[in-house]
Structures are given as C-alpha cells and as structure tokens.
Amino acid sequence: MHSASQINILILDDDPFILKMLTKMLANQGFTKVSTCDNGRDALTLIDHPDTRPNLIMLDLNMPDMDGIEFVRYLVEHQYQGHLVLVSGEDERMLKTAEKLVHAHQIPMLGYLHKPVTPDKLAAILNTWKPHAAENPSPTNHKLYSAEELRTAIEQHELVNYYQPKVSVRTGDVIGVETLVRWHHATDGLIFPDRFIHIAEENHLINELTTLVLTNALNQAKSWHQSGLMLRVAINVSMDNLASLDFQDLVVNLVTEAGLSPQSIVLEVTESQVMGADARVPLEILSRLRLKRFHLSIDDFGTGHSSMAQLRDIPFDELKIDQGFVHRAWADATLRAIYDASLSMAKQLDMETVAEGVEDQQDWELLRQTGCDLAQGNFVSKPLLGAEFPNWVASWKQRVRTELLLQSGN
C-alpha cells in the first residue's frame, strides 16, 4: 500500500483557481507533495527531472498553448512511467475519446473528473490507485505460432469447439449456439482464436480450419438433435473462406452428409476485413447459400469497414450487435444511441437481432425492454464444451424460472 504523503502529484491546468483549489483538496486528503504547472512545457521539464518526476498527473484537456491531448503524446516521448487523471469541463464524449487515446498510448489512467471537482469524487478516484500494478505487469504468453505448428494442430485435431448459447429474451428458450474454436495446445494450454485465426488466414489454412470446425459442429448438432435439443448451430466464416466458389459446395456437402437441414445452420460473417478487390465471389457464395435457406448473420455489427454496404448487398437475416455497443448501453448515451439504431435498422430489414456481450442483469433488462430477439454473453453462459451443454440447459431453465428473467421490472 502507498502512503499519500509519499506520492508526487503534478497538477497541470491553465486556470490558477483550479490549481489552488485542487492543491487544497489534495492536502486535505493527505497528499502533500503536490506541484502545479499552468502550461505543458514547464510540466515536461518537471517530468524529465528525477527529483520532481510525478507518480500521478492531473491533466486539464483544454489549455491554450499545448492542449492535454498533445501533452499526452509528449508524455510517451518523455517515457513517463506514472499514472494519469483527466480533469476537464468538456463533455462526457470528449472525455471518453481522450481516455481511449490515453489507453492507446498505454499510459495507465485512474479515470476522469468533471469540473467542478468535488472532494468526494477526487477521493473516489484516488482510492482506485494501485501504484505498482503498472510497473510489474503479469507475465503473459505472447508466443507467436508458425503456420507449420498450426497446420499440425489442425491435422491432429487439437482445435476444439466451444459453444456459447443464444437465448430468446422473450421466452428464455435456448435457440442456438455460436461455435467458438480454441486450440488445446499440448504444452501452452488453451489458446484463443485471436492468436491463430489470422495465421490461418495469412497462410492458406483457413479452409482447412473452417472445415474442421464445421465438421465437429455438425457432429455435435446431430448428437444434440438426436437427444431432443433442437439447437441452431452458428459457425464463424472468414472473408477468406469466401474467396473461392468451392466453399459453398463444401458447406452444402458437409451439411447434407450430416443429414441436417440448412435452416439449422447459421454462417456468421465478420465484416472486420475489407472485402477483396472482387466482391462478386463472396456475394455469389452468400446469395446461393441463402437461397438454400442457410441463415446468414452479420457479425460484430458496427465495428468494421463497411457494415451498411454489406447490409445493402448481402441477404443477411440475422444481425449481431457488437458487444462494444451492448454492455452498459443502459448507462451510456452514446452506446445507447448506436444500440438503438442498430436494433431499429435490423427490425426494418426484418432481420433477427442478437445482442452480444450481455454481461449482467441490467444489460439483459435493456434487451428485454427494447425488444431485442436473442441474447448472447457471459450473463447467460460463457462458451462451453459440447458435453457440458445438456446440464447447462437444465440449469438455465431453472434460472429463468427462479430469477424471473422474463418478468417486467420490479
């Protein structure tokens, strides 16, 4: 734990009244090593000097010479190692944008304070201070895998499907699952797809990977169907899968061989990649699959390069609102506006809506009140192994009954 009197705090603000007031508030809370600057240049001089280098900077955004955003960039160049609190009279959106920039520069930030600052809010933010967390980041495994390792993993079936439920918000019924692949690595443990999907895409392994994921998902679906669980199974399809017309034959053949109907299969297409120079091939594949009654889902809606254009061009019948616009949308006007617009657009286009990243009861409540069709996220369940699914379904049904997830508010 830290002692308030040992922390060097620098306040940077062009307003002398704010400097005086914050210094006083900090002193009342036991922070006595406080220096002040009314411009960025002087502040950088303090930062360069070991004796005056602060552990924490309270930074105003709007200053006449060097503004706060520019100052943050210089902080990086001057190898500032401490934390940051933004203090500003700017509105919430501006502060959030600034916060994102600070994060992008990897400067640890305690949060932001709206002017006028009150002693309570100042105390609350300083209480979140963990001075050593940033200096000793926990070791993480950043190992990069080669195409060869991944090829072997695919051949040896080291890739394992997990399944995350999609449930009806109105009835609580379990409608389907999204297949999420993981690599059960012999020595490194569980590896998530963000560490290997791009390797597959860059090394012409994505068709092999998707074939394995789809084959396993179809076997799982068949076994669920046989035990009476009529789940719709979604798999993620990369734009690179849609580069060759063979892909549609592959999908049709595998689904037919498994004895499943296209109506029970959803293809989730992410729009995080720009469609290749020739968009005709993906369009043709997706249109033909839709004609055969496969479901097509536009994934991570709102985050990619051309969401509206894809919506216009491809006959999607499901829209997944990205988790970045779902979780806490009830508390944030910007998120809420994007969430509402996505939902409304999907409804006008007669598409089924899925909200991703539903993490708590308040998120769930928002979906219920706004009439979103399906929910997916950790509030419902984390991704599960196929074998865990029947037990989870039983416990979910119980939860729907006992936690009154379908009732109107209290």
Q: Which residues lie near ligand G (CB under 6 A)?
A: 164, 180-181, 192-194, 197, 210, 213, 236, 238, 270, 299-300, 323, 356-359, 377-378, 383
271 binds Mn ion (CB under 5 A): no
240 binds Mn ion (CB under 5 A): no
Pairing of strands 174-185, 159-168: antiparallel
Minimum gap (Å) between residue 333 Cβ and ligand G: 21
What torsion do the CA atoms of 244, 242, 285, 213 make, to the nearest 10 degrees?
Answer: 110
Rounded distance between C-alpha atoms, residue 190 and residue 147, angstroms = 18
Amino acid at 39: N
268 binds Mn ion (CB under 5 A): yes
41 or 157: CB nearest ligand G = 157
Amino acid at 258: A
356 binds Mn ion (CB under 5 A): no
Vertex 396 angle, CA 394 and 400, to 5°: 120
Which does residue 148 bind out of Mn ion, ligand G, none, counting CB within 5 to 8 angstroms by kind? none
Q: Are 285 and 242 in contact (CB under 8 A)?
A: yes
Residue with tokens 């090829």: 151
Cα distances (angstroms) measured from residue 129 to each of 120, 203, 236: 15, 44, 40
61 or 197: CB nearest Mn ion = 197
318 binds Mn ion (CB under 5 A): no
88 or 270: CB nearest ligand G = 270
Query: Could you tell me which of 21, 368, 75 has the C-alpha nearest to residue 36?
Result: 21
Minimum gap (Å) between residue 119 Cβ and ligand G: 34
Which does residue 359 bind out of ligand G, Mn ion, none, counting CB within 5 to 8 angstroms by kind? ligand G
Minimum gap (Å) between residue 125 Cβ and ligand G: 24
Minimum gap (Å) between residue 164 Cβ and Mn ion: 9
322 binds Mn ion (CB under 5 A): no
Rounded distance between C-alpha atoms, residue 261 and residue 292, angstroms = 9
> How buried is 150 (Cβ within 10 angstroms: 0-12 exposed, 13-18 middle, 19+ buried)?
buried
Minimum gap (Å) between residue 103 Cβ and ligand G: 16
Sign of CA dihedral 80, 84, 87, 93: positive
13 binds Mn ion (CB under 5 A): no
Minimum gap (Å) between residue 346 Cβ and Mn ion: 16
240 or 299: CB nearest Mn ion = 299
Who contacts 63 (Cβ-Cβ below 8 Å, separation ≥6)?
Answer: 12, 13, 14, 39, 40, 71
Which range of residues in 25-33, 87-95, 293-301, 390-398 is near Mn ion by CB under 5 A? 293-301
Residues belonging to the chain: 410
- Nearest residue (beta carbon) to ligand G: 377
Minimum gap (Å) between residue 215 Cβ and ligand G: 11
Token code pair at residue 329: 């949308």
88 or 216: CB nearest ligand G = 216
- List contacts with Mn ion (CB under 5 A): 236, 268, 299
